């Protein structure tokens, strides 16, 4: 189980781009669980604050110790009330191939 504080939310979102789900922690450094293409429907089981990607540190738990970056998904409604103060240790960027 992750050491991240989880917000109790549930619902379904769709991916807006190709994205990896991550095992163990909401981090781009965590092992890849699955690769999902854009348009994939995903069931959300919880929300956490993890590593910031493009300035967004919100992640959804989509399975037992499996996470997806919320920035790669449609907005969950109602949207979780994440803590206002987020201090990521670093910021990842996504590079798009042209």
Q: Confirm whether 97 is domain-assigned.
A: no
> Which domain CATH number covers 66?
2.30.30.40
For the chain, the domain total comes to 1
Domain carrying residue 51: 6-92
Indicate the pLDDT class of residue 98, thresholds 50, 70 and 90: low
Question: How far is the C-alpha of 36 from the C-alpha of 7, rounded, in Å?
Answer: 24
pLDDT (average), residues 27-46: 96
Query: SS3 for 21?
Result: strand
- φ, ψ (nearest 5 deg) of residue 34: -150, 155
Distant-in-sequence, close-in-space partners of 11: CB < 8 Å, separation ≥ 6: 43, 44, 76, 77
Note the pLDDT tens digit of each residue in 73-93.
999 988 877 766 544 555 556
Q: Confirm whether 22 is domain-assigned.
A: yes
**What spatial distance separates the first Cα and last Cα of the chain, rounded to whole Å?**
38
Q: What is the largest CA-CA distance in the chain?
A: 39
pLDDT (average), residues 60-81: 92
pTM over 0.85: no
């Amino acid at each position: 189980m992750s050491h991240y504080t989880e917000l109790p939310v549930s619902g379904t979102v769709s991916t807006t781009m190709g994205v990896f789900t991550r095992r163990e922690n909401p981090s781009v450094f965590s092992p890849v669980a699955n690769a999902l293409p854009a348009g994939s429907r995903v069931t959300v089981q919880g929300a956490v604050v993890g590593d910031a990607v493009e300035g967004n540190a919100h992640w959804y738990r989509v399975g037992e110790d499996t996470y997806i970056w919320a920035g790669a998904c449609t907005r969950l409604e109602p949207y979780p009330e994440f803590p206002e103060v987020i201090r990521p240790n670093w910021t990842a960027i996504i590079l798009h191939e042209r």
